[in-house]
Amino acid sequence: MHEKEKDLIDAFLRGQVDRRGLIKGLGAMGLAAGTAGTLLNLGQTRALAADFDWQAHKGKTIKLLLNKHPYADAMIADLENFKKLTGMNVVYDVFPEDVYFDKVTAALSASSPEYDAFMTGAYMTWTYGPAGWITDLNEWIKDPAKTNPNYAWDDFLPGVKSSCAWNGKPGGALGSEDAKQWCIPWAFEQNNITYNKGMFDKAGVGVPGNMDEMITTAAKLQKDIGGGVYGIGVRGSRSWATIHPGFLSAYANFNEKDLTVSADGKLAAAMNTAGSKAFHAKWVQMIQESGPKDWSTYTWYQVGTDLGAGASAMIFDADCLGYFMNGGDNKMAGKLAYAAFTANPEAKASTPNIWIWSLAMSNFSKDKDATWYFLQWASGPEHGLFGATKMDFVDPVRQSVWKDEMFREKLNKSYPGYVEMFDASAAGASIKFTAQPLFFDLTTEWAATLQKMVAKEVPVDEGLDKLAESINGQLKEAGLG
Amino acid sequence: MEHTSLLERILRGVALTLVVIFFMFPILWIFMMSFQTNETILRIPPQLIFEPTLANYTALITGKLMTAAGTLDIAFMRNLWNSVFLSVTSVAVSLLLGVPAAYAFARHKFRGSEDIAFTLLSFKFAPALLVLLPLTLYFQKLGLANTYFGLIWVYQLICLPLILWIVRGYFEDIPADIEYAYRIGGHSWFATFRKIALPLAGPGIAAAGLLAFIFAWNNFVFALVLASADKQPVTVGALAFITSSGIQYGQISAAIVLSITPTLALALYAQRYLVEGLSLGAVKG
Amino acid sequence: MTAVVSQRPKPSGFRISKKVLPYVLSLPALLVCIGILIPFLTSVVYSFQRYRLSQPWARQFNWGDNYISFFTDPKFWNTLKVSLLYAGTTVVLELLLGLAIALLLQKRSTLNNFISIMLLMPLMTAPALAALMWKLMTNPGFGVLSYLASLIGLQDFRWASSPSTALFTVVLVDIWVYTPFIMILLLAGLRSLPTQPFEAAALDGVPRSFVFFRITLPMLTPYILTATLFRLLDSIQQFDIIYAMTQGGPGDTLTVFQVEAYLNFFQSTNVGRSAALMIILWAITYFLSNIFIKNWLRLRERARGQA
């Protein structure tokens, strides 16, 4: 490598030159962007190696269990750098998302030592943690001998980081003092609005500012656009996945809760309060009036596909779903825009519930120290920046990445409103569920109840009373209520 | 059967056409989608006219999937090979074990024969889920987890009962007198079984073998739970096109077409045994 | 039949003792399968435990509690009802349709043989993928079937997404996938029937309906029973199609045993309840099969008597 270029890269790594300056500088030296990237990787590898013994586990092999996902793709694309840095070998099994968590449950419940680390969501750790399948990562994060000095644990967005930490007590607050760090956030999803700009212009409507406006805007869009296009896409299948995106984000914005925790730690259903009933009535009305016709079968895929193909005017779902639909061979690629959504007119800002793709360490791993080397690299600032700027690693969990000019520019160029959307709601973004082992029982039944309400099989008030009664029964039966 | 009236023949023709339309239309639609991208598949209303592309097949066969996010590796051909290997081996083992047993149950009423036959059938009663979790634990202890051997063993649960009970029925339909006459002629038991019983039950064995093959082919829960990614069948592989950035309907369609092809070839090959068959009536005379 | 055979003198060259031979032939199959009894029994033990993976400390025997709680649980009764309804509807419809198609294709001709193989293609499509395709084809916007339905005036037909048509839709997909299974078994059966009785009936000028009900059907009965038995075993355990199309919804419309057991196991990780559900499913299957097998043996004897 030429000395000049080396110096420039090192200056960047020391923080004296920003990223744009670096690329410009390298460009001026006649290096193509691709080459610059390679040099940068090499430089980073050198910088990482400088202050920490990355080679401590040289020659060891670890095995990962991964979900077929753009985040995993981004990691795999960068994996050579890790291998070079540590001299370790990494092998991995990738399973389709449809069956991924079944595979995880099967492997962990059999105490299989095959996988050292795996991808997970924070909700899942509420099962895996108490079951003894995963390790509290604080032991490594807080040990300077095992964690490299550049790791910057404080760099993680606080709401996201603490959403992955739980003390294991049913109803225990996420991120409490005694919480265990069950997993490390990798990238996350805020639930907000992604909308079709052309359709909004055509119908002459703006981005809705609260729940009532969302109902009227969706109805107007559906009426004015015509051609089978419906107003708003939200998920509706009989699954926890229906509850956690837009629905719970708006619900939480009205300060409503799934469960209440009493002083002595007993849990009780809270879906049948007056406020909750009023919100449910609005949500159900919105789906009946302007949701997809076959809403009750709608998962992530259908919500996204419809938006991408121009069958829906907006979605209230994961921001990165809207992000994916704005690219690829989607008909509406390049025509989508983003906005934060504050459902409650009295709330100051949006409070999205979030999904966090995270990395967890298996308790059955045969070499946890070596596994931690991979985890700290994969969740480290360098890989985060690589994923965010070169691949589809949205939304990154590190504040430093969000400050990166190249990343912001990439988003601003092709994803109008995305950065503003993120900035407006990142502070209020966290998991709004009560952490407890019956999470999936509760949310599946909640979704089934919503389906019955939308199909007009049961009135909203009555449905919620029944749901609360059933949930309370199950909590008691499990010794939680 | 010769005296069919014209009206009846027309009615039969109409009925058969309706049947073919009902069963073949979705297949035809899948076939057409396999030559399209999501852009033309997802149109409102759906349309017949499109510009065909081979991109889906190219991606599956080369294992390189071009997306907006870059090139992704897919292991579809490996999955296809796993399916072929697992299904062929499992059915072969099942035939080796099941056909003699079926013959025993059909020909010899021995003490406990019905009980053993029923027990073998009852392995099909248990939902796969019921045995899977403990099975994973035991497989791990026995070192069978993540081995083809272990998978083929478990696949016997799908194939063996089916083969055993279908083939048994065919053996029972062969008049014992024919075999007896052959044996009287000085032939051994084994020669009788091989020269008389097996050919006569040929259609049944072909039908049972083919159906067992199809069921083994379509299964995925065993491999999913018991094996790592490099041993997954095509049924799991095809799910990889349900990605978080959208369902790749074109590639799934192409995957379905590619995964039907080997089974279809086998069925066409087995056809002469399957539906041509040997008429027992003729033998019986 | 065998009794008659055994009275005759032993043929020469018959080396293995007649008593031992059937065991030699059937035991390998049994031995290969018997290992599965161990995990099965383990699961039976689980079903008598309070056993949630997420609360390992609370794991203990609660004996029949998992089962007893079902009796007062309306969700369980709904599961039982839907499972039996689903299995009954699919098996009866597929049997009738499969028999009709087999009769249409009975005559040996190149075209009929070709059609019979082509009709197997739905069966060759993995049910989970087939369901995904049906979901696309019944989508109100992009779906070709929804479009065709709208042409005949069914603009608002909601297929799997409405409680009133969800069962119809999954049954339709089940029929599409599995009717060929029954068809091919019955076709093979029809074609292996002896021709003699039919020729005799034709000579005597017996009416065709009489031939069908008094000769064809009774002789075909063993095949019908085998096909129905296997279809019933699979149908009552249906999972792929229902889960992929509706995940058991809308509401609790389609929460059949396997869907409930799957959700209890993989999502709630309530192993005890999941195992108890599946043991009940196993018991139902066992009971139904027993009835079938009894009749199977009886009807077989009778069918052979007629032939």
Q: Is B6 on the interface with C (CB under 8 A)?
A: no
Both A219 and A328 in one domain: the answer is yes
C-alpha–C-alpha distance, residues B85 and A346, integer Å? 63
Both A122 and A203 in one domain: the answer is no
* Peptide bond before residue A395 is cis, with ω within 30 degrees of 0: yes
Residue B18, domain member (yes or no): yes
Phi-psi region of A184 (alpha: psi -120 to 50; beta: other; left: phi over 0): beta
CATH number at residue B278: 1.10.3720.10
Please say if the pLDDT value at position C139 is more than 70.
yes
Structure confidence at residue A24 as a pLDDT band (50, 70, 90): low
Q: Residue C141: its chain A contacts at CB < 8 A? A: 228, 306, 309, 311
| CB-closest option in B39, B42, B69 to A391 | B69
What is the predicted ipTM? 0.90
C-alpha–C-alpha distance, residues B168 and B90, integer Å? 19
What pLDDT digit, counting tens, does each position of A91-138 carry? 999 998 889 999 999 999 999 999 999 999 999 999 999 999 999 999
DSSP string for C220-262: HHHHHHHHHHHHHHHHTT--HHHHHHHTT-STTTT--HHHHHH
Residue A425, domain member (yes or no): no
Q: How many CB pairs under 8 A join A and C?
A: 103
The two structure tokens encoding residue A36: 């610059």
Please say if the pLDDT value at position B61 is more than 70.
yes
The domain containing residue A438 runs over which residues?
190-353+431-477
Both A120 and A155 in one domain: the answer is yes
**DSSP code for C130:** H
Place of tokens 């931690």: A372
Both A271 and A342 in one domain: the answer is yes
Residue A421, domain member (yes or no): no
What pLDDT digit, counting tens, does each position of C203-212 carry? 888 888 888 8
Touching B: which chains, 3+ CB pairs < 8 A? A, C
Both B178 and B211 in one domain: the answer is yes
- Chain B residue nearest residue A325, CA to CA: B245
* Peptide bond before residue B45 is cis, with ω within 30 degrees of 0: yes
Please say if the pLDDT value at position B3 is more than 70.
no
Residue A286, domain member (yes or no): yes
Both A218 and A258 in one domain: the answer is yes
- Are A319 and B244 in contact, with CB atoms under 8 Å apart? no
What pLDDT digit, counting tens, does each position of B225-245 carry? 999 999 999 999 888 888 888
**Residues 6 or more apart from A140 whose CB is under 8 A from it?**
A146, A147, A368, A369, A372, A375, A376
Residue A296, domain member (yes or no): yes
Helix (H) or strand (E) holding C26: helix C21-34
**Cross-strand partners of A205:** none
Radius of gyration of chain B (CA): 24
Q: What is the pLDDT of residue B109?
A: 78
Both B128 and B262 in one domain: the answer is yes
Both B99 and B53 in one domain: the answer is no
- Are C244 and B252 in contact, with CB atoms under 8 Å apart? no
Both A270 and A342 in one domain: the answer is yes
Q: What is the pLDDT of residue B70?
A: 56
Residue B62, domain member (yes or no): no
Phi, psi of A98 (to 5 degrees): -55, -35
Where a domain ends, among A16, A31, A50? A50
Q: Residue A104: its chain C contacts at CB < 8 A? A: none
Please say if the pLDDT value at position A33 is more than 50.
no
Please say if the pLDDT value at position C14 is more than 90.
no
| CB-closest option in C56, C162, C249 to A237 | C249
Structural domains counted in chain C: 1
Both A111 and A247 in one domain: the answer is no
Contact flag C282-B284 (C-beta cutoff 8 Å): no
Print the SS3 string covering A217-254. HHHHHHHHHCCCCEEEECCCCCCHHHHCCHHHHHHHHC
Structural domains counted in chain B: 2
Residue C239, domain member (yes or no): yes
Mean pLDDT of A207-221: 97
Both B38 and B115 in one domain: the answer is no
Both B201 and B278 in one domain: the answer is yes
Reported in sequence order, the residue ranges of A104-246 that DSSP labels E, i.e. its strands, are 117-121, 165-166, 180-181, 184-196, 230-233
Both A347 and A442 in one domain: the answer is yes
Both A281 and A378 in one domain: the answer is no
Going by C-alpha positions, the residue among A113, A119, A116 that lies closest to residue A101 is A119
What pLDDT digit, counting tens, does each position of B171-230 carry? 887 778 888 888 888 888 888 888 888 888 887 888 899 999 999 999 988 999 999 999
Both B46 and B143 in one domain: the answer is no
Contact flag A102-B69 (C-beta cutoff 8 Å): no
Structure confidence at residue A36 as a pLDDT band (50, 70, 90): very low
Residue B63, domain member (yes or no): no
Please say if the pLDDT value at position A34 is more than 50.
no
Chain A neighbours among C 199-258 (CB < 8 Å)? Answer: 245-252
Both B100 and B150 in one domain: the answer is yes
What pLDDT digit, counting tens, does each position of A254-271 carry? 999 999 999 999 999 999
Q: Residue C249: its chain A contacts at CB < 8 A? A: 237-238, 296-297, 447-448, 451
C-alpha–C-alpha distance, residues B197 and B190, integer Å? 10
Question: How far B228 CA lies from chain A's nearest CA (Å)?
Answer: 7
The chain-wide mean pLDDT, for chain B, equals: 86
Q: Pick A273 or B108 by higher pLDDT.
A: A273
Count of alpha carbons within 13 Å of C2, Cβ hemisphere only? 16
The three-state secondary structure class of A66 is: strand
Mean pLDDT of B36-54: 89
Reported in sequence order, the residue ranges of chain B that DSSP labels E, i.e. its strands, are 64-67, 70-73, 242-243, 246-247
Cα C162 to Cα A115, C238, C248, C252: the distances in Å are 42, 20, 12, 12
Q: How many CB pairs under 8 A join A and B?
A: 108
Residue A426, domain member (yes or no): no
Both B115 and B224 in one domain: the answer is yes
| CB-closest option in C53, C135, C249 to A109 | C53
Both B136 and B258 in one domain: the answer is yes
Count of alpha carbons within 13 Å of A192, Cβ hemisphere only? 32
The two structure tokens encoding residue B35: 């030559």
Q: What is the pLDDT of residue B284?
A: 36
Cα B175 to Cα A381, B187, B201: the distances in Å are 78, 17, 11
Residue B105, domain member (yes or no): yes
Count of alpha carbons within 13 Å of C237, Cβ hemisphere only? 23
Q: Is C135 on the interface with A (CB under 8 A)?
A: yes
Please say if the pLDDT value at position A87 is more than 80.
yes
Both A235 and A217 in one domain: the answer is yes
Q: Where are the alpha helices (DSSP H) in B34-67?
A: 38-41, 55-62
Radius of gyration of chain C (CA): 24
Q: Residue A102: its chain C contacts at CB < 8 A? A: 266
Residue A294, domain member (yes or no): yes
Q: What is the pLDDT of residue A260?
A: 96
- Chain C residue nearest residue A229, CA to CA: C141
- Are A372 and A146 in contact, with CB atoms under 8 Å apart? yes
Where a domain ends, among A365, A386, A415? A415
Contact flag B243-A331 (C-beta cutoff 8 Å): no
Q: Is B149 on the interface with C (CB under 8 A)?
A: no
Residue A423, domain member (yes or no): no
- Are A235 and A300 in contact, with CB atoms under 8 Å apart? yes
What pLDDT digit, counting tens, does each position of A436-470 carry? 999 999 999 999 999 999 999 999 999 999 999 99
Residue C259's CB is within 10 A of a number of other CB atoms, namely: 22
**DSSP code for A355:** E
The domain containing residue C101 runs over which residues?
78-306
Structure confidence at residue C4 as a pLDDT band (50, 70, 90): very low
| CB-closest option in C2, C121, C222 to B260 | C121
Q: What is the pLDDT of residue C115?
A: 93
Please say if the pLDDT value at position A325 is more than 50.
yes
Q: What is the pLDDT of residue A9?
A: 58
The two structure tokens encoding residue C241: 């199609």
- Judge residue A378's burial from the number of C-beta atoms within 10 Å of its C-beta, 0-12 exposed, 13-18 middle, 19 or more buried: buried
Cα C133 to Cα A39, A78, B250, B256, C161: the distances in Å are 46, 35, 11, 10, 15
Residue C7, domain member (yes or no): no
CATH number at residue C299: 1.10.3720.10
For an interface test with A, give the residue of C42, C55, C134, C246 to mutate (most A CBs within 10 A). C55
Structure confidence at residue C13 as a pLDDT band (50, 70, 90): very low
The domain containing residue B13 runs over which residues?
6-57
What pLDDT digit, counting tens, does each position of A174-204 carry? 999 999 999 999 999 999 999 999 999 999 9
The two structure tokens encoding residue A122: 């924070």
Q: Residue B134: its chain C contacts at CB < 8 A? A: 38-40, 42-43, 46
Q: Is C298 on the interface with B (CB under 8 A)?
A: no
Place of tokens 């909308």: A195
Please say if the pLDDT value at position A220 is more than 90.
yes
Q: Residue C128: its chain B contacts at CB < 8 A? A: 220, 235, 239
Please say if the pLDDT value at position B128 is more than 70.
yes
Place of tokens 């029964």: A473
What pLDDT digit, counting tens, does each position of A222-265 carry? 999 988 899 999 999 999 999 999 999 999 999 999 999 999 99
CATH number at residue A175: 3.40.190.10
The chain-wide mean pLDDT, for chain C, equals: 87
Structural domains counted in chain A: 3
Both A348 and A274 in one domain: the answer is yes
C-alpha–C-alpha distance, residues C268 and A250, integer Å? 25
C-alpha–C-alpha distance, residues A162 and A176, integer Å? 8
Q: At what angle do helices C217-235 and C74-104 cross, to 10 degrees?
A: 140
Q: Pick C80 or B240 by higher pLDDT.
A: C80
Give me the sign of the Cα torsion angle A302, A305, A307, A310: negative
Mean pLDDT of A71-83: 92
Contact flag B121-C289 (C-beta cutoff 8 Å): yes
What pLDDT digit, counting tens, does each position of A381-420 carry? 999 999 999 888 889 999 999 999 999 999 999 999 999 9
Structure confidence at residue B283 as a pLDDT band (50, 70, 90): very low
What pLDDT digit, counting tens, does each position of B147-185 carry? 999 999 999 999 999 999 888 888 887 778 888 888 888
Both B183 and B49 in one domain: the answer is no
Phi, psi of A43 (to 5 degrees): -60, -45
Touching C: which chains, 3+ CB pairs < 8 A? A, B
Reported in sequence order, the residue ranges of A262-303 that DSSP labels E, i.e. its strands, are 267-269
**Residues 6 or more apart from B119 whose CB is under 8 A from it?**
C30, C33
Both B38 and B166 in one domain: the answer is no
| CB-closest option in B130, B238, B275 to C187 | B275
C-alpha–C-alpha distance, residues B40 and A68, integer Å? 25
**Cross-strand partners of A355:** A189
- Identity of residue A281: A
Q: What is the pLDDT of residue A44?
A: 59
Interface residues of A toward C, Cβ cutoff 8 Å, are: 101-102, 105, 109, 126-127, 130-132, 228, 237-240, 292-297, 302, 306, 309, 311, 437-438, 440-441, 444, 447-449, 451-452, 454-455, 457, 477-479
Q: What is the pLDDT of residue B217?
A: 94
